[in-house]
């Protein structure tokens, strides 16, 4: 039974990764598999768990379902997508993690550790292919496939090497032009989010830290050439340094923190100005800034429920909402404070309250890292975001993981 569960969990997280905006989704048949097969797998895993859902958990789920009716009533379209995401997929993830929570810490974290295992393999493959194909040109491209990502939704063709590596985005920095390492994703920021999430799991969740795994992820993040990824690496480096010094040195470092922060800001600003100049003002910074401004304007006009989730292109007076790159701000525009509260509550507030009660700093740091990347990456409806949201919601009862069952048994049987 454990082997079957392990296999199903690996298939599940692989599909969650592939559903995270990969070029394969351009094919309708593949897209439907990635959207609906995880529902079937989660259902099987729940029935296989052999656990009875706690009454307290059922109460919270019922409250959630009642609350989920309100955004549904204001939808103008996208009804089936809303039902699939918020009425089926998120509650199933939440339920499964609730059941695993009572089996012990390793069972509770199994999906995330298996996710990171797969991402490590993807990182190794993408680094090798990036060097051999994009930098050195040793391996010729095998084919081109259609893509509707970016370019205003118009059809374009992207190069692929055996379908395991895609060239989708250029970057230009200090007169150096090359392909970003986007792995099997449509753009660098999406791949960066996948990698950074795995890095947070390796640094904070996995008990036995592996320097090799962490180095692989760091190198892959650097080659995506994304500002968010570099920021996160700097933050993790700073955190690692803080942990290694004494309390007296930590206090001194706090005094010099404003200077360090300013120097870091200047350095990143120089890089961004170079990027802006090289891309002639069409950088992701401009896109994000314009997106944030539009979303805030619309959100403040409709602060409670927004203009309706799944609305797509929306015109309000002379303002058009159609292309965005910031999950949190788009949620504010389309779902209002009502939906934003769900995401902030699940990804930040509940982990913080859990930390206050049980001093579980590692989980809080993992969720905080994910929230930072999520906030500036368009991913609010993706299954990976729902998985982390469910992870946070599963702690709403504030019951310590594995408190019901013997933890040593869980470690033995689930590892």
Question: Residue range 173-197: average pLDDT?
Answer: 89
Tell me how far apart the alpha carbons of residues 364 and 348 are, in angstroms, rounded to a whole number. 8
Tell me how far apart the alpha carbons of residues 223 and 191 are, in angstroms, rounded to a whole number. 10
Tell me how far apart the alpha carbons of residues 167 and 185 are, in angstroms, rounded to a whole number. 9
Strands 170-173 vs 314-316: parallel, antiparallel or unpaired: unpaired
In this predicted structure, the answer to whether residue 408 has a pLDDT above a threshold of 50 is no
Non-local CB neighbours of 378 within 8 Å, separated by 6+ positions: 189, 324, 325, 326, 327, 330
- pLDDT of 54 reads 73
Residue 409: band (very low, low, confident or very high) from pLDDT cuts 50, 70, 90:
very low
Tell me how far apart the alpha carbons of residues 94 and 244 are, in angstroms, rounded to a whole number. 36
Q: What are the tens digits of pLDDT across the range 287-325?
A: 667 777 778 888 888 899 988 888 766 666 556 666 566
In this predicted structure, the answer to whether residue 410 has a pLDDT above a threshold of 50 is no
- pLDDT of 7 reads 96
Q: Considering the entire predicted model, what is its pTM?
A: 0.89
Burial 96-126 (b: 16+ CB within 10 A, else e): bbbbbbbbbbbbbbbbbbbbbebbbebbeeb
Tell me how far apart the alpha carbons of residues 218 and 292 are, in angstroms, rounded to a whole number. 28
**Which has more pLDDT, 99 or 239?**
99
Burial 387-412 (b: 16+ CB within 10 A, else e): bbbbbbbbbbeebebbeeeebeebee
- pLDDT of 281 reads 45
Q: Which of 152, 186, 154 is nearest to 167 (CA)?
A: 186
Per the DSSP assignment, residues forming a β-bridge with 170 are 179
Q: Which of 219, 45, 194 is nearest to 118 (CA)?
A: 194
In this predicted structure, the answer to whether residue 411 has a pLDDT above a threshold of 60 is no
Residue 415: band (very low, low, confident or very high) from pLDDT cuts 50, 70, 90:
very low
Question: Residue range 233-245: average pLDDT?
Answer: 81
DSSP 53: P
Give the Cβ contact number of residue 91 at 10 Å: 18
Provide the percentage of residues in the chain whose pLDDT is more than 90.
54
- Whether residue 299 contacts residue 272, with contact meaning beta carbons closer than 8 Å, is answered with no
Residue 387: band (very low, low, confident or very high) from pLDDT cuts 50, 70, 90:
very high
In this predicted structure, the answer to whether residue 282 has a pLDDT above a threshold of 50 is no
Tell me how far apart the alpha carbons of residues 298 and 318 are, in angstroms, rounded to a whole number. 11
E runs forming strands in 143-299: 143-147, 156-160, 166-167, 170-173, 176-179
Non-local CB neighbours of 385 within 8 Å, separated by 6+ positions: 327, 374, 379
**Which has more pLDDT, 220 or 232?**
220
Domain boundaries, the chain: 2-244+283-414, 245-282
Provide the percentage of residues in the chain whose pLDDT is more than 70.
79
**Which has more pLDDT, 101 or 171?**
101
Least-confidence region, from 142-156, 207-221, 228-242:
142-156
Task: Supply angle C-alpha 396, 400, 401, rounded to 5.
Answer: 100
DSSP 395: T
Q: What are the tens digits of pLDDT across the range 350-383?
A: 999 999 999 889 999 999 999 999 988 889 999 9
Q: What are the tens digits of pLDDT across the range 88-125?
A: 999 999 999 999 998 889 899 999 999 999 999 999 99
- pLDDT of 376 reads 85
396, 397, 400, 403 alpha-carbon torsion, rounded to 10°:
-150
Tell me how far apart the alpha carbons of residues 40 and 316 are, in angstroms, rounded to a whole number. 39
- Whether residue 389 contacts residue 90, with contact meaning beta carbons closer than 8 Å, is answered with yes
């Amino acid at each position: 039974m454990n082997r079957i569960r392990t296999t199903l969990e690996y298939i599940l997280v692989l599909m969650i990764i592939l559903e995270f905006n990969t070029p394969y989704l351009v094919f309708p048949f593949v897209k439907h598999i990635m959207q609906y097969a995880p529902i079937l797998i989660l259902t099987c895993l729940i029935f296989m768990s052999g656990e009875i859902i706690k009454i307290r958990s059922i109460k919270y789920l019922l409250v959630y379902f009642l609350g989920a009716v309100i955004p549904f009533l204001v939808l103008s379209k996208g009804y089936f997508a809303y039902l699939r995401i918020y009425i089926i997929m998120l509650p199933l993830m939440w339920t499964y993690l609730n059941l695993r929570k009572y089996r012990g810490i390793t069972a509770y974290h199994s999906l995330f550790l298996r996710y990171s295992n797969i991402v490590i393999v993807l990182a190794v493959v993408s680094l090798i292919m990036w060097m051999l194909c994009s930098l050195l040109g040793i391996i010729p491209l095998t084919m081109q496939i259609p893509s509707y990502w970016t370019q205003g939704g118009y059809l374009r063709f992207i190069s692929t090497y055996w379908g395991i590596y895609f060239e989708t985005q250029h970057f230009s920095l200090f007169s150096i032009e090359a392909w970003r390492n986007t792995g099997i994703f449509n753009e660098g920021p999406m791949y960066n989010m996948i990698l950074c999430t795995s890095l947070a799991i390796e640094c904070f969740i996995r008990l036995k830290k592996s320097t090799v795994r962490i180095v692989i992820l760091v190198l892959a993040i650097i080659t995506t050439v994304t500002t968010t990824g570099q920021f996160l690496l700097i933050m993790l480096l700073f955190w690692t340094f803080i942990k290694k010094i004494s309390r007296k040195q930590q206090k001194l470092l706090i005094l010099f923190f404003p200077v360090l922060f300013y120097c870091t800001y200047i350095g990143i600003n120089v890089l961004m100005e170079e990027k802006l100049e090289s891309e002639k003002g069409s950088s992701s910074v401009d896109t994000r800034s314009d997106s944030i401004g539009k979303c805030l304007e619309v959100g403040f006009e409709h602060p409670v429920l927004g203009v309706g989730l799944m609305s797509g292109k929306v015109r309000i007076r002379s303002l058009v909402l159609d292309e965005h790159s910031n999950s949190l701000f788009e949620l504010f525009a389309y779902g209002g404070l009502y939906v934003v509260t769900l995401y902030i509550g699940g990804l930040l507030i509940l982990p913080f309250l859990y930390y206050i009660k049980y001093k579980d700093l590692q989980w809080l740091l993992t969720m905080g890292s994910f929230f930072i990347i999520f906030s500036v990456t368009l991913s609010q409806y993706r299954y990976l975001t729902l998985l982390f949201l469910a992870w946070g919601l599963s702690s709403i009862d504030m019951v310590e993981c594995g408190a019901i069952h013997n933890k040593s048994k869980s470690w033995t049987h689930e590892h």
